[in-house]
Amino acid sequence: MTILRRSSRLVGLWALWRLLGPEVPPRFHGPQSRPADIPGRTVTVGRHEFLVREAGPVSAPPVVLLHGWIYDGLATWHKVIPDLAADHRVLALDFRNHGRSARIRGRFDVADAADEVALVLDRLGVGRVPVVGYSMGGMIAQALASRHRERVAGLVLAATAARPVDRPAWLTYPVFYGGRAVARLDRLTMPRLAHRYLIAAGAVAPEHGAWLWESLLDRDVDLYYESGFAILRFDGTEAARRLDVPTHVIVPTADQLIPPRLQYATAALVDGAEVTEIAGARHEAVLTHPEAVAKAIRAHLATLTV
């Protein structure tokens, strides 16, 4: 009983601190700057706006980049875009509830996000395009190719899978509900952990620490977890078997979030899919191994006739 009472008191003090205490950022070292200056513009689809960042010659062949769950288009792709933009028109979208795109309340599925991407591409008037998806973006890219085949000239799927979670729902949902509960009480905890990890892993340079912190905090907690629940519900296994789009799968062999075996299994589902391994890379390979990621994307683009 004494332990329970003390624990309750500690929880109460923590909650009081989060309600009344100051917002304390991480410690940043040295002069701070943004990692890249990639301009963007909003595209209106129905009642909502979506941000699209663009780089490279307007007349060059286009390629579309779709970001992961934790990040937006800039945070995910800022190390890869300069390479591709040398001779491609690079279009990096922010999904709903991410970055500078609309906050749309309520439940949604990966298929809904894919339909929104298709509408954005329609507004951009780019025709059939190669689509590169990282993590959650790879799931949306699969749904886009399945539901809007006429839009997609080729697929690159990085650190993603047709079924990214193979554990029973009763094991995974409580983790997400618990994470959301903590985030509702203290919106700084999870961004602080992500910030510390990404800086320590060398995924983001220390001089970009303040920018990373602001990016990680720029989220609505409930809408952020709606994206997480959409990932948990996603199962594109059957759709992957029917894909007839040229596909290249990039597998970070030490991925700690989406097991490599699930990524290899996804490649096996798609007839003729090519595989590039990034040995020793973890889930954040797009940030720690951008040259290898860009090289694999370029290899795929070179095989396409758009």
Residue 73 lies in a domain: yes
In whole angstroms, give the CA distance from residue 294 to residue 129. 17
Q: Residue 77 corresponds to which tokens in the numbers above? A: 């792709």
**CATH number (domain holding residue 139):** 3.40.50.1820
Average pLDDT, the chain: 93
Residue 280 lies in a domain: yes
Residue 187 lies in a domain: no
Mean pLDDT over 181-204 rounds to 92
- Give the angle subtended at the CA of 126 by the CAs of 123 and 128, to the nearest 5°: 120
**Residue 112, domain extent:** 33-163+235-301
In whole angstroms, give the CA distance from residue 178 to residue 245. 38
pTM for this entry: 0.93
pLDDT of residue 90 exceeding 80, the answer is yes
pLDDT in tens, 37-69: 899 999 999 899 999 999 999 999 999 999 999
Residue 84 lies in a domain: yes
pLDDT of residue 1 exceeding 60, the answer is no
Better-predicted residue by pLDDT, 300 or 4: 300
pLDDT of residue 185 exceeding 60, the answer is yes
Domain count, the chain: 1
Q: How far out from the chain centre does Cα 295 lie?
A: 19
Q: Residue 202 corresponds to which tokens in the numbers above? A: 């060398």
pLDDT of residue 237 exceeding 70, the answer is yes
The candidate with the shortest Cα–Cα distance to 50, out of 140, 119, 130, 134, is 119
Mean pLDDT over 285-306 rounds to 94
Mean pLDDT over 107-111 rounds to 97
pLDDT in tens, 252-274: 999 999 999 999 999 999 999 99
Determine how β-strand 89-93 pairs with β-strand 62-66: parallel
Residue 263 lies in a domain: yes
Residue 208 lies in a domain: no
Predicted confidence at residue 97, as pLDDT, reads 94
